[in-house]
Amino acid sequence: QQQHEDLSSKKLRLTKPSKSAALHVDLCKATSPADALQYLLQFARKPVEVESVEGVVRILLEHYYKENDASVRLKIASLLGLLSKTAGFSPDCIMDDAINTLQNEKSHQVLAQLLDTLLVIGTKLTENPSVRMRLVEVACKHLTDSSHGVRNKCLQLIGCLGPVEKGVAKEAESQAAKDVQKIIGDHFNDQDPRVRTAAIKAMLQLHERGLKLQQAIYSQACKLLADDYEQVRSAAVQLIWVLSQLYPESIVPIPSSNEEIRLVDDAFGKICHMVSDGSWVVRVQAAKLLGSMQQVSSHFLEQTLDKKLMSDLRRKRTAHERAKELYSSGEFSSGRKWGDDAPKEEIDTGAVNLIESGACGAFVHGLEDEMYEVRIAAVEALCMLAQSSPSFAEKCLDFLVDMFNDEIEEVRLQSIHTMRKISNNITLREDQLDTVLAVLEDSSRDIREALHELLCCTNVSTKDGIHLALVELLKNLAKYPTDRESIWKCLKFLGSRHPTLVLPLVPELLSTHPFFDTPEPDMDDPAYIAVLVLIFNAAKSCPTMPALFSDHTFRHYAYLRDSLSHLVPPLRLPGRKLVSSPVSPSITPHEDPSQQFLHQSLERVYNLQHLDPQGIQELLEFTIRDLQRLGELQSELAGMADFSATYLQCQLLLIKALQEKLWNVAAPLYLKQNALASAAAKQILEETYKMEFMYSGVESRQVVIIHHMRLQAKALQLIVTARTTRGVEPLFGMCEKFLQEVDSFQR
């Protein structure tokens, strides 16, 4: 019988079909370049295992040398690069073959694709300096190719793999490694704009990899700002910005003058000039970069807000310079004054180049641009510069306020956010405040809420300004009642920031009279609540203000302090008992009634052991209901209230499940109660995991309590399983796991 079993069993050896063999067969079957291309396209869609990559690459290279059609060779070159990216495959074994394929290749497209493959290989072998140096040398040899695509790939390869370590550049023998920056810089003047762009991007790539660019590149980059192609100008703007951050304090000469200027100031002027570029893409980029140039001199910065230039776009020369030029010219005159009537050549305005002309009015042009993307970029740049310069923040305020009336909602919204960021450095005049408040009529809720947030942190200069803001906010409340919470919050901060300006307005706002009693306002009126929120928050910093309150104002304060405690602050009101909560008279004016209610609700739970089972369940249900309601009313306490309610809900479920005495019930009768206990245990486990991982700020002591509750739920699950499972063996694993959890809990 044993022998019969040995004969009947057969061993199978499972092997994967070879990808390289299948590809070789397919390519050999191809009768035309179109067929070969179709097979290659089908192969490209299939995944290749790491161990098969090298064999596949060898097959592809073999067919590459045999193939006469350029399109097939192009696809093979593309596949080589794709396979080199395979995770776990080291492409150093195919690098020599990939370089050799370049020697006899005549197609420019295939050459460019092969260089791209070499770039992929070099990127994966960045830790090997000799490989990178060899690839850079290969790229330098092909920089003279007539095709722009090949030159582009060569420059890209040099930028990504060129040496950035100081030691490597000195030790290398080849000219390519000695000065990579010079090689790339020589192509700044290439006849093809795509190559010029690639050269600038390669230089920027070297900078990103950690190589410090030479300052001499700056003059070349400045010339590229006048290029006919927007891609070149865009890349040149980026390069000039990089150099201005590397050499901010270096001195550069001013053209057509004997004066010198800091490089960062000169770069700032040139980038400002690009804000008026013909391409909106360049204008956006230039405007964005201006915001990060915070080392610029203050007088250059302020000129960006002024359109006026001096001397017809020419830099004013000193009297000494003018006299010296006049004397050295030696031109004829009438004799009364040297060179008095000497003929002067007509000035070519295009040749005039001065520092101030670039920076002058740059932001004015940017903010008035026809493309809203440029306007947004200019607003963001203004914000960044104003945050670092309080004086500039004051000067740019009028321009930002004007942007509140922009036709595009996104621009208006960005302007409001910008002003909010710089609000600590500015104080609004009444005319500016009037323009700002006009935006409250906007139909967009996002705009209105952003403006409310702005007013929360705005400084107003006069009491009339506060009154104007209140009137406009009340109009907003009447027109858009859903803005109620946002407006109340706005008035809370407006009052706390301007207590001295609110003080003289109190009699008018509360309609009080020195001799006559005035009717008591309606406490359900949102507008009246808004006025009280403003006054009570101002009164916190102004102890003389409560003397102006009438009796009903004190009663309304007590009511609002309980119902809107997040908006109404605690006030010291001597001799007044009404400041206390009518629910808990023992609460001092400095304690939050909502916080006190939460603590009192939880304190009631501590006395559970003194109650009968029915009383325990009722108390837990009432407490859970109160906590859930408190979380809905007070957003500040929502997390704490929900956390406590969830824990008490778990406790209630456990009590209900254990009340049935499951272990004393006979098995046939137990089936009815099985569903209740099992569902309770499952829900407790879910809730305890939520409590542990979905709430922030949970203390270690609270985590222990959560784990204890979870352990009780697992014990309940074990009882349920033990009562419903036949046999003992299935329970051994569960019991062992439960004992391990008990042991880890004790530790």
Specify which of 109-118, 247-256, 511-520, 737-746 reaches the highest per-range mean pLDDT: 109-118
Q: What is the pLDDT of residue 587?
A: 38
CB 298 within 8 A of CB 389: yes
Average pLDDT over residues 569-576: 71
Average pLDDT over residues 275-299: 91
Average pLDDT over residues 169-196: 74
Q: What is the pLDDT of residue 583?
A: 34
For 224, residues 6+ apart whose C-beta sits below 8 A from its C-beta are: 188, 196, 200, 232, 233, 235, 236, 239
- 618 phi/psi in degrees, rounded to 5: -65, -45
Question: What would the pLDDT profile of 25-79 be if each residue is shown by its tens digit?
Answer: 666 666 677 877 777 787 777 777 777 788 888 888 888 888 788 888 888 888 8
Question: What would the pLDDT profile of 310-324 be if each residue is shown by its tens digit?
Answer: 433 444 455 555 666
User: Is the pLDDT at 487 greater than 60, yes or no?
Assistant: yes
Q: What is the pLDDT of residue 585?
A: 36
Give the tokens for residue 642. Answer: 């929900």
Higher pLDDT, 360 or 372: 372
CB 659 within 8 A of CB 681: no
Q: What is the pLDDT of residue 605?
A: 74
Higher pLDDT, 534 or 744: 534
Q: What is the 3-state secondary structure (H, E, C) of 583-634?
A: CCCCCCCCCCHHHHHHHHHHHHHCCHHHCCHHHHHHHHHHHHHHHHHHHHHC
User: Is the pLDDT at 663 greater than 60, yes or no?
Assistant: no
Higher pLDDT, 515 or 412: 412
Please provide the average confidence, as pLDDT, over all residues in the chain.
Answer: 80
Q: Strand, coil or helix: what is 573?
A: coil
Dihedral-angle region of residue 128 (phi above 0 means left; psi in -120 to 50 means alpha; beta otherwise): beta
Distances, alpha carbon 542 to alpha carbons 354, 445, 537, 539, in Å? 55, 34, 9, 5
Q: What is the pLDDT of residue 356?
A: 43
Average pLDDT over residues 623-630: 84
CB 422 within 8 A of CB 383: yes
Question: What would the pLDDT profile of 337-361 be if each residue is shown by its tens digit?
Answer: 555 555 555 545 444 444 445 677 8
The band of 174, judged by pLDDT with boundaries at 50, 70 and 90, is: very low
Q: What is the pLDDT of residue 623?
A: 86
CB 118 within 8 A of CB 91: no
Give the tokens for residue 342. Answer: 């000497």
DSSP 212: P
The number of C-alpha atoms within 13 Å of 474 and in the hemisphere containing its C-beta is 17
Question: What would the pLDDT profile of 185-218 be if each residue is shown by its tens digit?
Answer: 999 999 999 999 999 999 999 999 888 889 999 9
Give the dihedral sign, CA 129/130/133/135.
negative
Q: What is the pLDDT of residue 736?
A: 77
Q: What is the pLDDT of residue 152?
A: 92
Average pLDDT over residues 210-239: 92
The string over 604-636, giving b where at least 16 C-beta atoms fall within 10 Å of a residue's C-beta and e elsewhere, is ebeebeeeeeeebbebbeebbebbbebbeebee
Specify which of 560-564, 594-598, 718-722 reaches the highest per-range mean pLDDT: 560-564
Q: What is the pLDDT of residue 324?
A: 65
User: Could you give the CA distance from residue 150 to residue 115 in angstroms, rounded to a whole number?
Assistant: 8
The band of 524, judged by pLDDT with boundaries at 50, 70 and 90, is: confident
The number of C-alpha atoms within 13 Å of 421 and in the hemisphere containing its C-beta is 18
User: Is the pLDDT at 252 greater than 60, yes or no?
Assistant: yes
CB atoms within 10 A of CB 691: 22
User: Is the pLDDT at 484 greater than 60, yes or no?
Assistant: yes
Percent of the chain past pLDDT 90, that is, above it, reads 27
Least confident of 3-7, 267-271, 493-497: 3-7
Q: What is the pLDDT of residue 531?
A: 94
Higher pLDDT, 508 or 697: 508
Least confident of 275-289, 462-476, 602-616: 602-616
Q: What is the pLDDT of residue 317?
A: 55
Average pLDDT over residues 628-647: 83
User: Is the pLDDT at 586 greater than 50, yes or no?
Assistant: no
Nearest to 441 by CA among 398, 466, 472: 472
Q: What is the pLDDT of residue 310?
A: 41
Least confident of 250-264, 405-419, 427-441, 486-500: 250-264
